[in-house]
Chains A and B, each alone.
Chain A
Amino acid sequence: DVKVTQSSRYLVKRTGEKVFLECVQDMDHENMFWYRQDPGLGLRLIYFSYDVKMKEKGDIPEGYSVSREKKERFSLILESASTNQTSMYLCASSFLDRVIAEAFFGQGTRLTVV
């Protein structure tokens, strides 16, 4: 079974803190993604990566950065957390260039910034 593991299910941070969300997958997937989920807005792509050290901006990258030093690990960084970044964060991974390449998701991290 594919496993995508996010380091925390719940996180509470203070405004201005630097926040790291970690994601690890065990299926040797090339692609990894960070989405943000808010009610009524569905999932919006923050950043994705298709290879080690490669990253591409998604639809809402402002206020976020990412790091991919190893193939299996993709980190989302909030340089200076703000209350409007309170949300659910979902990590996903998939194969690159397969005929069908659905994404597999982690269990989500609910981040609250106070």
Chain B
Amino acid sequence: AQTVTQSQPEMSVQEAETVTLSCTYDTSESDYYLFWYKQPPSRQMILVIRQEAYKQQNATENRFSVNFQKAAKSFSLKISDSQLGDAAMYFCAYRSRNNAGNMLTFGGGTRLMVKP
């Protein structure tokens, strides 16, 4: 079974600065997807960014980018120019490409606080 670990329960960042959230995972598969989801206080989970394991290029979405290290099984999220609206719980998630049920396996989450 796959496991996902987020080692930072809480992080804080000054507004306009950059922060990196860590995620590691354990799998014996070679083909899979990785995701970062954001959960603001409203509780609505929102997809931030996705990465396909077969792609070597790191995914980027505006101020959000990932550092995907397949051999190390590491998938960190970098938030540049942090904004107050970035304050939320962030969850790293794994999905097997062979998994027809498409279920996601989640890490324990990192609470990000943004200081004005």
Contacts and interface: CB of A to CB of B under 8 A. Distances in A.
A56 B33 contact: no
Interface of A: 31, 33, 35, 40-45, 48, 50, 56, 58, 88, 90, 92, 94-97, 100-103, 105, 107-108
Interface of B: 4, 6, 9, 33, 35, 37, 42-45, 47, 50, 52, 91, 95, 100-109
Contact of A31 (B4, B43, B102, B109): B102
19 contacts: A33-B104, A40-B9, A42-B4, A42-B108, A42-B109, A44-B106, A50-B101, A58-B103, A88-B43, A92-B45, A100-B33, A101-B95, A101-B102, A102-B35, A103-B102, A105-B44, A107-B44, A108-B43, A108-B44
B44 A43 contact: no
Contacts, number: 59
Majority secondary structure of chain B interface residues (helix, strand, loop or mixed): loop
Contacts of B42: 107
A42 B106 contact: yes
A101 B4 CA distance: 19
Given A42-B109, A43-B91, A103 B104 contact: yes
A42 B3 CA distance: 11
Nearest to B4: A42
A26 to B, nearest CB: 15
B50 A107 contact: no
B91 A42 contact: yes
Contact of A107 (B43, B47, B95): B43
A102 B100 CA distance: 13
B100 A50 contact: yes
